[in-house]
A and B are shown apart, each in its own frame.
Chain A
């Protein structure tokens, strides 16, 4: 039994070895393969670590370098922003208009109304130079140039600004604020509020302007002293009479007597302004017009006894004005009255009686909601010292607001004046106005 068992054990051992030998060989192959993979991974890891180290070195910026970059950035930003913070500002504004007019019984004409650039040069919030030029092309095709105003304004404090130079007359509202074509809601000025009308247009002198608040109500004011206007006389029917007032700002005070005036406005409600104006001083005849009509020229009438002006008496000159504007939603109602009175003269070549020019208008405009159309109606009554210029007028118009500052206007004027004069002719006016 024992011999059999031993033989069996030997056989089993030999059999087990025979089976184990090939398995061992397979295990060795797998081990080698794994070892190769580990080595490859180790190599890759090493490469990745090297790359990471390179990146880290590149990404690492010293603290000083950060500050340097930030400082540079701040300088760049400040430099890019410096145009916003210069002590002197230069700005160009203004307006222009083109149009077409067609008077009853006449051929229609295209016209360049005017080009009026306004230059602003401002030193901080202390001083501003304002100048408006006026370019016009006349009927002969010539370009006329005028200085509408030129002032240097000094802002003394929040309530007072001093302004010297040639400025728009602060009498009333139309001349100083409403005459630009992109603002005026009809294509023409109300009779009496244009040049050589009842309202003074400009003045050369010194002016104080500003605004203040009393108990929640705002008020504004303007007070000025200037050279004053000059007068035009006419020789008709053997006598001299006053023909017109030139109140467009003269650089010479013909009579040496200044005119003082101003306006006070109050805003009792939002959208409502009421103003009173006045001026007083002296004015003297400086030119003679031979015939009644528009325009001023030195007299050529051979029958006139004496055109050599001398010893002209400085006449009393007084202006009174009142104005209001009320805006309520899409409605705007405004009105204005002005009267210029010139006294009599006892001495001088053109000694004659005094004369009065007065005009008033009222205007209603309504911007139709959800549209860009704005119908306008205006009534004006101008009584001139020269009867040929007196006129009553109904003005009807429709505006199309391309934008708030680009406006297309169609206006029709029903004019009633002295028969045979321009003041009596109805007309169509088409205008495109651009405020910039």
Chain B
């Protein structure tokens, strides 16, 4: 019985290596490596994978080049695919921009008439694309440290201006081990997108 199990294990190993030899190695050299990934998909990878083993690291902890080696190290440790690695790396590199301390000019209220023309997504769309990975569909947070939007004393108790600044510049909730990166890590968000998603938060999770 033992010899049969051993034989099967050896066969499995041999077949695995045959499959490896048939797989197409990635010989092509890009001018820069790795190729950029999708930062929105990367935010999801970050939220769903890192905290399975350890406290998720703040993107601002490391520089862009340090994140490259770290991401490839984590590819080996966590069994990420190459695409997941590129996505989360791009997210971390986009999100480690230092938080700006200058006061922002907030034009107030809902997206202005002038800004409406550049809103590419609805507030619902922005939330589903950029925020949901960490804040969850129910707004209660999916990762340690993410605040509860449905709480009366939660983030939505603050003014639109404060929320706008926190989203745009990044923010670390009191007691949270990590910070939300500027624009949630999605640097393509416009001011109008941010205002739209704040409206969505109030309509969906507001008391």
Interface on A for B, CB 8 Å cutoff? 83-85, 89, 91, 93, 118, 120, 122, 124-126, 128, 130, 153, 155-163, 173, 176-178, 180, 182-183, 208-213, 218-223, 225, 260-261, 265, 267, 270-271, 273, 280-281, 316, 318, 325, 327-330, 332, 343, 367-372, 401, 403-405, 407, 435
Contacts and interface: CB of A to CB of B under 8 A. Distances in A.
Contact of B79 (A156, A222, A270, A318): A222
B175 A369 contact: yes
Given A173-B53, A260-B6, A329-B142, 4 more contacts: A122-B72, A177-B77, A222-B79, A281-B9
B38 to A, nearest CB: 14
B113 interface: no
Interface string B18-29: 001001111001
Contacts of B65: 83-84, 89, 91
10 contacts: A158-B81, A158-B82, A161-B76, A183-B54, A211-B78, A218-B84, A329-B146, A403-B177, A404-B56, A405-B54
A329 B142 CA distance: 4
Contact of A370 (B51, B70, B173): B173
A223 B53 contact: no
Most B C-beta atoms less than 10 A away, residue of A221, A327, A404:
A404
Interface residues of B, number: 62
Interface in B113-143: 136, 140-143
A159 B20 CA distance: 10
B79 A225 contact: no
A125 B33 contact: yes
Nearest to B72: A128
A209 B76 contact: yes
Interface in B27-84: 29, 32-34, 47-48, 51-58, 61, 64-66, 68-70, 72-73, 75-84
A120 B69 contact: yes
A157 B142 contact: no
A332 B53 CA distance: 9
B80 A211 contact: yes
B79 A210 contact: yes
A53 to B, nearest CB: 42
9 nearest CB pairs, A to B: A220-B79, A158-B82, A91-B69, A404-B55, A404-B177, A211-B79, A120-B69, A183-B54, A260-B9
Contacts of A122: 68-69, 72
B93 to A, nearest CB: 10
Given A271-B52, A370-B174, A128 B69 contact: yes
A156 B73 contact: no
Name A's interface SS.
strand
> Which of A128, A159, A260 gathers the greatest number of chain B CB atoms within 10 Å?
A260
B53 A280 contact: no
A223 B10 CA distance: 11
B207 interface: no
A162 to B, nearest CB: 7
Contacts of B51: 271, 327, 332
Contacts of A367: 144-145, 177
A157 B82 contact: yes
B69 A89 contact: yes
A260 B53 contact: no
B52 A327 contact: yes
A46 B76 CA distance: 77
B13 interface: yes
A270 B26 contact: no
A158 B83 contact: yes
A163 B75 CA distance: 12
B57 A405 contact: yes
Contacts of A83: 65
Contacts of B48: 267, 270-271
B177 A212 contact: no
A209 B175 CA distance: 36
B54 A329 contact: no
Nearest to B29: A124
A128 B13 CA distance: 23
A222 B65 CA distance: 27
B105 interface: no
B173 to A, nearest CB: 7
Given A160-B23, A213-B81, A223 B16 contact: yes
B5 interface: yes
B33 A124 contact: yes
B196 interface: no
A155 B72 contact: yes
Nearest to A173: B53
